[in-house]
Amino acid sequence: MGMLDGKSAIITGAGRGLGKEEALAMAREGCNILINDLGASFDGTGKETKIADEVAEEIRNLGVKAAANYDSVTDFDAAKGMIDQAVSELGGLDIIVNNAGILRDRMLFNMAEEEFDAVIAVHLKGTFNMMRHAAAFFRTEIKEGRMKKKSGRIINTASDAGLLGNMGQSNYGAAKAGIAAMTNIASMELKKYATVNCIVPMARTRLTTDATPKMIGVMKRKAESGMDVFHPSNVAPLVVYLASKKARRISGEVFRIAGDKLWVFDGWRTVGRVDNNGESFTPQKIADVMPGLMEKRPEKPSILNTAEEVLE
């Protein structure tokens, strides 16, 4: 008996990499899946329907229902169409996994408006589009008694580029930080209807190799134990768990996963404070206390350093 027997899910960007591994893992646990993938290159250009078709066929061979969808998550109405397609072809909808993404890296002083807009549209607006329509669906189904309270599942995908920062990715990082924040707020708004969580995967995909050459070396390395820690299949078990009833009390959380390591984030929090004894600060007073305040800050980790730690 699988952890997701009889459930139905939409996974965006499920034609390759993380999304495909998530789809296969969920299918093995009994989940019916709508495979959404535009079939585009890592920068969002082009289209190839066979990408989604092939994964859907692979899913059906595991003994569950599967359907393919080739729409862009950036289209608000198309996102609603995915919900309708899942209900029509899979018999319902219980789970949304927002995984679709592109990269158009550029240093800020060279970034074109279109490069910023395109990345924000896929990651941030695309996640909103799917969450918006799924939330409305879950709310209606629960109010009308066709789903149990808080039985919906929404799983978003953020990145260390948004939580730690990464040069050349102000567009991508802003979108991913926004997704983490939106996860937190949505978990509050949907507490009667669905759990909403976010994963921060560290894995070898087109976005971390083809689109980010500086990461290729570390992403291809194995741990001292011989484990291929950055294989995308290592991320999928967390998605399966968060989609299951075993995670029904977990919502509003952000988890990083890589290989055999799992972290939980605590979000923005203060790490130091100074008081001015009941008086307003002056610019000079701030100059006087700032060195002491900054000494209380821990060293900021980097994406590359974090990846190196996973290999230890």
pLDDT in tens, 290-311: 999 998 788 777 776 777 677 7
Average pLDDT, the chain: 92
Tokens of 128: 């909103």
Packed helices 76-90 and 126-143: angle between N→C axes, nearest 10 degrees = 50
35-44: pLDDT as tens digits: 999 988 877 8
Q: Report yes or no: 133 and 175 within 8 Å, Cβ to Cβ.
A: no
The stretch 243-256 carries a mean pLDDT of: 97
pTM of the model: 0.91
Q: Annotated catalytic residue: which of 172, 187, 193, 244?
A: 172
Q: Annotated catalytic residue: which of 7, 70, 72, 159?
A: 159
**Could you confirm whether 159 is annotated as catalytic?**
yes
**Could you confirm whether 172 is annotated as catalytic?**
yes
Determine what percent of the chain is predicted with pLDDT higher than 90. 78
The stretch 195-217 carries a mean pLDDT of: 76
**Max CA-CA distance within the chain?**
70
Starting at the edge strand that comes first in sequence, how are the strands of the sheet with 152-157 ordered?
66-69, 32-36, 8-12, 95-97, 152-157, 194-201, 254-258, 261-264
Q: Annotated catalytic residue: which of 7, 20, 125, 176?
A: 176
Whole-number pLDDT of residue 312: 66
68-112: pLDDT as tens digits: 999 999 999 999 999 999 999 999 999 999 999 999 999 999 999
Could you give all domains of the chain from N- to C-terminal order, each with its CATH number? 8-268 (3.40.50.720)
